[in-house]
Amino acid sequence: PVYPCLFSIDTPNPNPGDLIEIKWPDFQHWALYMGDGYVIHVTAAAGLSRSNPTETILTGMAKVKKELLEDVAGDHEWQVNNVYDWYHFPLPEEEVIWRAEGYIGKEVPCVVFGSDCEHFVRRLRYGGHLLALCCAFSLCGWAC
């Protein structure tokens, strides 16, 4: 199920280390849940425009930010989407969070409006080897 970004009794709480898929108007944005309402995600240094994200094509470097899920999602729907848990065990929660915290504030090579934001958080949850497996089996639709 997909949930609007409102904190209420009906909204399940994600667990630290969960992958969050945010349904923005023209694409899905991905984040990693850190706990206490915060996520880590890749974005342009000046921030992403959720009102019309396709106005700007961002390539090259992106910044890793820790922000409130409700601020990142705005009024768009989001869901926990740990899609590869059936295929590969995630890293221990403490390691996922430790790895993610090491990226906060840093620039990473990324195409924010492509699939790189998903690959970034997926690597944090599952480790770097999952990307190679994903591409080898053509599960992610990413040219490798």
Angle (CA) 103 89 83, round 5°: 80
pLDDT digits (tens, 9 = 90+) for 31-73: 999 999 999 998 876 655 454 343 334 456 788 999 999 999 9
Q: 134 catalytic, yes or no? A: no
Other CB atoms within a 10 A radius of the CB of residue 2 amount to 12
Q: Which residues of 69-90 are buried (b: 16+ CB within 10 A; e: fewer)?
A: beebbeebebbbbbebeeeeeb
Domains and CATH numbers, the chain: 3-136 (3.90.1720.10)
pTM of the full predicted structure? 0.75
**Beta carbons of 65 and 40 less than 8 angstroms apart:** yes
Given 5, 29, 41, 119, which residue is catalytic?
Answer: 29
Given 117, 119, 134, 140, which residue is catalytic?
Answer: 117
Q: 76 catalytic, yes or no? A: no
pLDDT under 50: residue ranges of the chain: 1-11, 49, 51-58, 131-144
What is the rounded distance in angstroms from the CA atom of residue 45 to the CA atom of residue 85?
31
